[in-house]
Structure 1
Amino acid sequence: MERAESNLLRRGRFSEPGRLYLLTTVTHQRTPLFQELRAARLVIRALRHSERLGDCRSLAWVVMPDHLHWLIELRAITLSSLMRQFKSRSGTALCKANLCRGQVWQRGYHDRALRREDDTRKVARYLIANPLRAGLVAQIGDYPHWDAVWLTDSGSLHNCL
């Protein structure tokens, strides 16, 4: 049974190809599934698969122990289709690997369309700094589950963002 709030979240949701979106989704009951390295890597593989399909261009993402932040440029698909396919693909992979039992993701997700005047790199820096703010690491380079298109060969977030 759907909760009334989930319907309100969808009201007014608009998917515009070419627009940048910050997406957030959390695990079922905020279970910290992605503390397990293999589980986090399967989710990352599902993110990258969405990009290979041409559904989106990933600009930055961070997989936290119980949620995901994903900055994308939407391509020729709706946000709801992108997230539904991503959640299905990642959930199936996690269950096949015996890393979960039952539901992986909570229903729904949060999205925020970036405005043209928004500083995309600033949004990406904020997103990627989540492990620092959560106290998971002392420096972002120590956290293994994030990426951004602005990375250089040196791998220094401060130099590229």
Structure 2
Amino acid sequence: MPRRSRSLEPGNYYHLYNRGNNRQNLFFERNNYLYFLKQFRYYVAEETVHVIAYCLMPNHYHILIYLRDDSLSAAMHRFTMSYTNAINRRYQRCGSLFQGRFQTLHVDNDRYLLHLTRYIHLNPVQAGFVEKPEDWEFSSYHEYVGIRRGTLPKLKYISEQISTPAEYRQFMKSSDKSPLHSIQHLLFE
């Protein structure tokens, strides 16, 4: 595959996303979601990024990160190969699982960062899988509102704007969704 045309610079925020090849599922059962997160933590999050928010959907994922060093592309390659190989072995399939390389959007201000967390956490609601974001197990929303004490998402990156679970719940219900128009194209069918 060709190299990424723009460089990813440490010290910046990025929205990572990708979907299944030919829009097929990436996850086939609950354990696949858990394994994906475990492998992402091992290959990518431990050294390369801080995860700010994430949501795993049946055929795609969204991960909002703070980039700590310049090895993201290599780490993501190792991660996606590991996950693909495991899924291919488990389900006796072969070939690509992901639709090419992961995609990135640079997040250039705190307001956009905060609104992007809402977009990510509302993804299963928008897709009609659940009525409320807390009903979707495979997102960091649970950490944001104090339902779960997971260690993958680092909430400190939004704590200057929203400091308590109650404030985040209120933010999720607010009608100010103005920055979301710039990311609507990310909705996967």
TM range (shorter): 0.7 to 0.9
Among 120, 133, 139, the alignment partner of 2:126 is: 133
1:119 CA displacement: 3.2
- Residue of structure 2 in register with 1:10 after alignment: 4
The DSSP-based 3-state class of the residue aligned with 1:108 is: coil
Q: Which runs of 5+ in 2 are unaligned?
A: 149-164, 173-189
> Among 107, 110, 119, which residue is 2:103 paired with?
110
Q: How does 1:83-102 map to 2 (within 5 A)?
A: 83-96=76-89, 98-99=90-91, 101-102=93-94
Provide TM-score, normalisation by structure 1: 0.81
Structure 1 residue 148, shift from structure 2 partner: 5.3
Q: Does residue 150 of structure 2 align to residue 158 of structure 1?
A: no
What CA distance in whole angstroms lies between the structure 2 residues aligned with 1:143 and 1:149? 9
Identity of aligned residues (%): 24
CA distance in 2, matches of 1:76, 1:150: 25
Q: 2:65 aligns with which of 68, 72, 75?
A: 72
Contact 1:63 1:69 in 2 (8 A): yes
The amino acid that maps onto 1:95 is N
Amino acid of the structure 1 residue aligned with 2:78: Q
TM-score (norm 2): 0.70
Give the distance between the partners of 1:113 and 1:73, measured in 2 at CA.
10
In structure 2, what residue type is equivalent to 1:158?
Answer: R
Instruction: Choose from 51, 59, 65 the match for 2:45.
Output: 51
Alpha-carbon shift at residue 84 of structure 1 (Å) = 1.1
The DSSP-based 3-state class of the residue aligned with 2:140 is strand
Distance 1:132 1:76, change over 3 A: same
Following TM superposition, the consecutive aligned residue runs of length 4 or more in structure 1 with deviations greater than 4 angstroms are 154-157
Which residue does the alignment assign to 2:185? none
Structure 1 window deviating more from structure 2 (121-130 vs 100-109): it is 100-109
Q: Distance between the aligned counterparts of 1:64 and 1:143, measured in 2?
A: 9
1:36 and 2:29 are equivalent in the alignment: yes
Q: For residues 32-88 of structure 1, what are the alpha-carbon distances to aligned partners after superposition, in whole Å with 9 as ceiling and x for unaligned?
A: 232411111111112222212x11100011111101101001111334223212212
Matched residues, number:
152
